Amino acid sequence: MDSDEVDRLVAAWRRERPDVDVEPLEVLSRVSRLARHLDLARREAFGRHELEPWEFDVLAALRRAGDPYVLSPGDLVKQNLVSSGTITNRLDRLETRGLLKREQDPNDRRGVRVQLTPTGREVVDSSLDDLLAQERAILSTLTTAQQRDLAHTLRDLVIPFDNPVE
């Protein structure tokens, strides 16, 4: 079996600190390194469409909402895990580019609805296609069964963060 950078750093820690259990590094250092590679792949895929990752995230949330591709700013805050001030700034920038528009909520005089424009839909759809091509390439060394097992294992690891017990 080939070794990777994590194997080397774990071996060094075991040599230098045999008194501590460095086993978590075997998994989480790899997850961390993979996250950096995924971030680079995302930036490359989105860069082809002149999007930043955060721009894709906002547009993707609207696209996933289904026709007519409308969400409230509050829904976008929840889905993007950012503050309301941050989402306002992001919506301003995306609206200026013609990728979304804001309109008054017909059911609430004080409310605003955010809608994906046809141009925004084209950009997010083509960006998603490029992202999926990048991600398929990254996963190509794993069998379909390995990918499924990894997805289940990672879900088990992420659930406590996504659904904290209160």
Residue 50 backbone zone (phi > 0: left; psi -120 to 50: alpha; other: beta): left
Average pLDDT over residues 132-157: 96
- pTM score of the predicted model: 0.83
- Report whether pLDDT(166) > 80: no
* Nearest of 103, 115, 99, 113 to residue 56 by alpha carbon: 99
Tell me what the mean pLDDT of segment 84-107 comes to. Answer: 93
Q: Can you say whether the dihedral through the CA atoms of 21, 150, 43, 85 is positive or negative?
A: negative
Question: For residue 81, is pLDDT > 90?
Answer: no
Domains of the chain: 5-162 (1.10.10.10)
User: 96-140 pLDDT, tens per residue?
Assistant: 999 999 999 888 878 899 999 999 999 999 999 999 999 999 999
Query: Residues 6 or more apart from 124 whose CB is under 8 A from it?
Result: 56, 59, 60, 62, 63, 99, 116
Mean pLDDT of 17-41: 95
Contact 106, 96 (CB under 8 A): no
